[in-house]
Amino acid sequence: MLEKLIEIGKRYTDEVEIYQINSFSSGVSFENGILKDIDSSIQSGISLRIIKDGKLGFSYTKNLLDPEGLVKNAVDSLKGDIRVEFSFPERRELKVLNTYDPEIENLTNTKMVEEGQRISEILSQATNTQINVGVVKSVSEIRIINSKGVDYSTKNSSYMCYAAAMYPGSYSSISRIIVDKKFKEFSKEDFEYITFLYNNSKKEVKAKSGRMKVMFLPTTMYVLIWRLIYGTNGKNVYERTTPLIDKIGTQIFDSSITIYNDPFNDSLPGARAFDDEGVESRVLPIVENGVLKNFYYDLYYGSKMGIGSTGNGYKVSDWGGEIIRVRPTPALEHLYMKPGDKDFHEMIRLIDKGIIIAQALGAHSGNIPNGDFSIGLSPGLYVENGEIVGHVKDAMVAGNIYEVMKKVVAIENKNYVGNMGVFPSTIFEDVSVAIRE
């Protein structure tokens, strides 16, 4: 059917690209140890892009009942006059990745409910507080075919489990996320991490504002990484809205920081040999030993800059929207930070006075293009003389990543999944902390 759509498209246009997705997810959630929801969702459909006379057209459908109508809708969209300077890619031999574990198909809702209940009971007994848990499995299949000979497909399996110990009377929590390509038990280490941080920070304490050491956990490193993602996005480079223009090859962070995009790491879900435009993936260093190495591009902005795509064109859907409605844009979907040499407890002992940021509020605020951030702590764990003494309320941390990330004290020796990537806990010094007294 897709081959037929290509042939129809070629009658009307110069180049044709089809993106097809079929995905299924199923999940359970617990609130305060009680099963709250069992949910499932299916997403499928086709996106069509065409190039004719140097202009780009787009259309999509959930059901390919009228192939000719889909093509004509894309042709009609050419009136939008989106001029492009690229062609769709030709076929290449791709890296073979292990992205699917058939065991995921045998994971039942009953098993996920049992795991959620087990986690809730263990953490509830260990912390004596409300425990919220979510467990989700998903399988997705993507196929990309174009008129230049590309015909790639991938099947991905994913398992995710999230657990949070809630502070009484608030939405603040200590949490951990685990992911795999198949079912994976919440481990002894995961339980101990949540229990240690929560139990040692139960007490609300008073502290004074000032400049001090601040540790970002893997769950909050995204506050900083978000600004770097913006700053190195090819769209923003082209539009000159990033302060990193002309900074390739210069030191922007501490020499201990290395951040890279690795779509080939198939030990975790979501590895990709090609992006959502059929461009071959590659490992892309973003920052290496503190030095800015690369910006990242899709076909559109790569051609605008005269350097081509870096294999980072993805359909990124915010807030659970449908992928087929979205056009590719530059995206870092497989971001990692190189671990350091300190274990977690050793890192805490390095803090004479400071804050551990377990959750952040308002990460979207501040001048993101400039690298600024200003976040509420939800919670902020207060540390004195290398020990967690409690948590502070009504506290904020603010700064600029191009200043803060030059002052690294220590980086954890292990990575964990967080928002926007896989990161170690990291301590920075001389960071501004404001606490209501």
Mean pLDDT, range 383-408, rounded to an integer: 96
- Whether residues 159 and 269 fall in one domain: no
pLDDT in tens, 28-61: 999 999 999 999 999 999 999 999 999 999 999 9
- Tokens 């009971």: give the residue: 121
Strands (E), 220-369: 259-261, 284-288, 291-292, 313-314, 329-330, 335-337, 353-357, 360-361
Mean pLDDT, range 317-329, rounded to an integer: 84
- Whether residues 173 and 298 fall in one domain: no
> Of 149, 170, 192, which residue constitutes the final position of a domain?
192
Mean pLDDT, range 218-229, rounded to an integer: 97
- Whether residues 139 and 282 fall in one domain: no
pLDDT tier for residue 319 given thresholds of 50, 70 and 90: low
Structure confidence at residue 272 (pLDDT): 98
CATH number of the domain residue 72 falls in: 3.30.2290.10
Structure confidence at residue 212 (pLDDT): 97
Answer whether 354's CB lies under 8 Å from 214's CB.
yes
- Whether residues 338 and 380 fall in one domain: yes
Q: Give the integer Cα–Cα distance in Å for 134 and 359.
A: 17
Mean pLDDT, range 79-91, rounded to an integer: 95
pLDDT in tens, 148-185: 999 999 999 999 999 999 999 888 999 999 999 999 99
Structure confidence at residue 146 (pLDDT): 97
Mean pLDDT, range 239-258, rounded to an integer: 97
- Whether residues 420 and 370 fall in one domain: yes
Structure confidence at residue 65 (pLDDT): 87
Structure tokens at 406: 């030059």
Please report, for residues 112, 195, 361, the alpha-carbon distance to residue 380 in angstroms, rounded to integers and kept in the order given.
31, 16, 11
> Of 192, 227, 250, which residue constitutes the final position of a domain?
192
- Whether residues 86 and 124 fall in one domain: yes
Number of domains in the chain: 2
pLDDT in tens, 143-152: 999 999 999 9
Mean pLDDT, range 288-307, rounded to an integer: 98
Strand-strand pairing, 210-216 and 353-357: parallel
pLDDT in tens, 103-146: 999 999 999 999 999 999 999 999 999 999 999 999 999 999 99
- Whether residues 86 and 157 fall in one domain: yes
% pLDDT > 70, the chain: 99
Q: Give the integer Cα–Cα distance in Å for 49 and 55.
A: 10
Q: What is the mean pLDDT of the chain?
A: 96
Answer whether 325's CB lies under 8 Å from 316's CB.
no
> Of 157, 192, 227, which residue constitutes the final position of a domain?
192
- Whether residues 151 and 243 fall in one domain: no
- Confidence check: pLDDT of 1 > 90: no
Nearest to 75 by CA among 130, 11, 21: 11
Residue 161: left if φ>0, alpha if ψ -120 to 50, beta else—which one? beta
Start-to-end CA distance of the chain, whole Å, equals: 66
- What long-range pairs does 251-254 form, CB within 8 A, spacing at least 24? 251/290, 251/291, 251/292, 252/287, 252/290, 252/291, 252/292, 252/402, 252/405, 252/406, 253/287, 253/290, 253/402, 253/405, 253/406, 253/408, 254/290, 254/405, 254/406, 254/407, 254/408
- Whether residues 183 and 225 fall in one domain: no
- Confidence check: pLDDT of 437 > 80: no
Helix/strand/coil for 344: helix
Question: 105 - beta bridge partners?
Answer: none
Backbone φ and ψ of 355, nearest 5°: -125, 140
Structure confidence at residue 63 (pLDDT): 87
- Confidence check: pLDDT of 320 > 70: no
Q: Give the integer Cα–Cα distance in Å for 396 and 214.
A: 11
pLDDT in tens, 180-201: 999 999 999 999 999 999 999 9
Query: Which range of residues forms the domain containing residue 105?
Result: 2-192
Q: Give the integer Cα–Cα distance in Å for 303 and 429.
A: 40
- Confidence check: pLDDT of 403 > 70: yes
- Whether residues 153 and 232 fall in one domain: no
- Whether residues 307 and 384 fall in one domain: yes
Please give, one letter per residue, the 3-state secondary structure of 191-235.
HHHHHHHHHHCCCECCCCCEEEEEEECCCCCHHHHHHHHHHHEHH
- Confidence check: pLDDT of 420 > 80: yes
- Whether residues 176 and 43 fall in one domain: yes
Mean pLDDT, range 92-110, rounded to an integer: 97
HSE (side-chain half, CA atoms, 13 Å) at 274: 23
59-95: string of b/e by CB count within 10 Å (b at 16+)? Answer: bbbeebeebeebbebbbebbeeeeeeebebbeeeeee
Nearest to 220 by CA among 176, 286, 255: 176
